Amino acid sequence: MLNIKDISKTFNPGTPDEVQAIKHVSLAVPDGAFVVVIGTNGSGKSTLQQLIAGACVPDSGRIELAGEDITRWGEHRRAALIGRVFQNPFSGTAPTLSIIENMALAARRGQRRGLGWLLSGAVRRRLRDRVAELGMGLEDRLDNAIGSLSGGQRQALTLLMAVLQRPSLLLLDEHTAALDPKASDQVIRLTRDIVAREKLTTVMVTHSMHQAAHLGDRLIMMVNGEIRQDLADERKRRVNVEDLLALFEQVRRADRLDASAAELLRSRYV
Ligand SMILES: Nc1ncnc2c1ncn2[C@@H]1O[C@H](COP(=O)(O)OP(=O)(O)OP(=O)(O)O)[C@@H](O)[C@H]1O
């Protein structure tokens, strides 16, 4: 279980560039839940993921994962519990190493790396079977450099590598945003299958309303560093793309009203 308790994060505090990116956010994600996070630009979605992954530290609050208080754990230590896939297909893999070498490294995540990971025949066969599950024919290209694959193939492998050790949490940060529509659909299908099969606890950030409507069992909408909507169960199942677009329009209208109220105040009092 992921348990985020009242976390806040301000960048550049006390300077003219101060941004309150996350404001008193609490979120409990039970084991096996698949949470999709949407929100307006700059609403704090990526910062929330960074805080969970340990790439930055909250100013206050607490983050617990798999029964451990990980709030002060470094990113590297958390990597043993958290699998991540980023937007950029070039992140997360070593481009000059082959598919099988990258897989072998992922299989040993969190352990000491050295030449000791040279592959035995049995390990190679096991990893080959996992690559074959992707249904992309990559099992016949195990010795090709990862850098020679398409973006979609790389993201599929990165996803597989992220779940190879069945992490306590899978974090997906707009992992299909840089792909063409066909590759994106393929990676989304794989995501749905792998998450369901492995019963993974998952938090996925997306800008795609289609993905938000059709994936996961809970949907969170962030606005200005806060969770503005939290739809689960039947409400999540019923939500469609039109509902989500209407929700964004509502938020934009409220923001415009806020902006014009601020403008009015300025023109009167400044
Ligand atoms: N390292 C940083 N230093 C300063 N400000 C930051 C930093 N990271 C994020 N911010 C600011 O914090 C706010 C939240 O940013 P964040 O990237 O989390 O939003 P987001 O919802 O992921 O946005 P987008 O959808 O545009 O990617 C923004 O105003 C952003 O400019």
CATH architecture of 2-94+166-239: 3-Layer(aba) Sandwich (3.40)
Q: Per-residue pLDDT tens for 64-102? A: 999 999 999 999 999 999 999 999 887 878 888 999 999
Angle between helix 151-163 and 121-132 (nearest 10): 120
Q: Per-residue pLDDT tens for 251-268? A: 888 877 666 665 655 555
Token digits of residue 71: 């709030």
CB 38, CB 215: distance < 8 Å: no
The ligand 1 atom nearest the CA atom of 44 = 18
Average pLDDT over residues 42-65: 96
d(CA 225, CA 132): 41
d(CA 175, CA 36): 12
Q: Per-residue pLDDT tens for 9-49? A: 999 999 999 999 999 999 999 999 999 999 999 999 999 99
Average pLDDT over residues 127-145: 94
Q: Whose CA is nearest to atom 5 of ligand 1?
A: 11
Q: Is 152 in the pocket of ligand 1 (CB under 6 A)?
A: no
Cα of 250 to ligand 1 centre, how many Å? 22
Burial 64-85 (b: 16+ CB within 10 A, else e): ebbeeebbebeeeebbebbbbb
| Predicted-complex ipTM score | 0.97
Q: Is 153 in the pocket of ligand 1 (CB under 6 A)?
A: no
Mutate to test the pocket of ligand 1, among 10, 11, 173 (most ligand atoms within 8 A of CB): 11
Number of neighbours of residue 210 by Cβ within 10 angstroms: 14
Q: Per-residue pLDDT tens for 216-261? A: 999 999 999 999 999 999 999 999 999 999 999 988 888 776 666 6
Q: Output the DSSP codes for 43-70.
A: SSHHHHHHHHHTSS--SEEEEEETTEE-
> Is the predicted pLDDT of residue 123 greater than 60, yes or no?
yes
> Is the predicted pLDDT of residue 138 greater than 90, yes or no?
yes
Q: Is 25 in the pocket of ligand 1 (CB under 6 A)?
A: no
Give pairs for 237-243: CB < 8 Å, separation 24+: 239/213, 240/213, 241/209, 241/210, 241/213, 243/213
For the ranges 43-57, 92-106, 109-123, 129-143, the lowest mean pLDDT is seen at 109-123
Cα of 225 to ligand 1 centre, how many Å? 9
Q: Is 41 in the pocket of ligand 1 (CB under 6 A)?
A: yes
Q: Is 71 in the pocket of ligand 1 (CB under 6 A)?
A: no
